[in-house]
Amino acid sequence: MNSALCTLSLFPASSLVLFHAKSASNDVVSDTCKKCAASNPNVNYDHCMKALGSDPKSRMADLHGLGAIALTLLERSKQDPYVRKCLSDCSDLYSDAAETAKEAVGAYQAKRYLDVQNSVTTDADMCESQFKEKQGVSSPLTKQNGDGMQLSYIELAIVAIVTGS
């Protein structure tokens, strides 16, 4: 009975220690992300929390350890050959789209609206969809691709209004 009572009394104590350790590790990540976001307007606090928190080692890391984790995550993101190929393809698509957009401007000014409709492409959509072909890979260009798609849709809608179609 005495050993059972001792074991039962250790359970709340060990739970409290584990909770405090987990809470302290979240505090280090949270504090680091707050400081990073406050010192650099390009750092998104939520992204920082998600990225650093994605590595199980962050639970026990200090500031120096979090820096090493960030470098490891950066190295992985730059080394993925699939992502590199997708980004290269997107670069080609966007280069073509920039040239096509110049042609569309001329066609729009000349009121050749059919040429404009044929010129406005969904290269941004094609770029975004490439990243979905491999499970677990997400596009680092989602916002830019979304903005590009929206501009294409806006242009097509304006042409439809102008031409009455």
pLDDT tens track, the chain, 165 positions: 444 433 333 334 333 333 333 444 468 999 999 999 999 999 999 999 999 999 999 989 998 999 999 998 887 766 678 888 999 999 999 888 888 888 999 999 999 999 988 888 778 889 999 999 888 888 999 998 888 888 888 888 888 998 987
Amino acid 68: pLDDT: 92
With beta carbons less than 8 A apart as the criterion, state whether 116 and 155 touch. Answer: yes
Amino acid 99: pLDDT: 87
Amino acid 77: pLDDT: 66
Amino acid 19: pLDDT: 36
Q: Cα angle at 105 between 102 and 108, to 5 degrees?
A: 150
Amino acid 26: pLDDT: 60
Closest by CA to 93, choosing from 136, 141, 138, 135, is 141
Burial class, 5, CB count within 10 angstroms (exposed 0-12 / middle 13-18 / buried 19+): exposed
Structure-derived torsion over alpha carbons of residues 43, 46, 47, 51, reported in degrees to the nearest 10: 120
Amino acid 11: pLDDT: 37
pTM beyond 0.75:
no
Amino acid 16: pLDDT: 34
Distance CA 165, CA 159 (A): 8
- Which contacts (CB < 8 Å, 24+ apart) does range 25-30 have? 25/58, 25/59, 25/60, 25/61, 26/53, 28/58, 28/61, 28/62, 28/63, 28/66, 29/53, 29/58, 29/61, 29/66
Question: Which residues contact residue 80 at a Cβ distance below 8 angstroms, ignoring those fewer than 6 apart?
Answer: 137
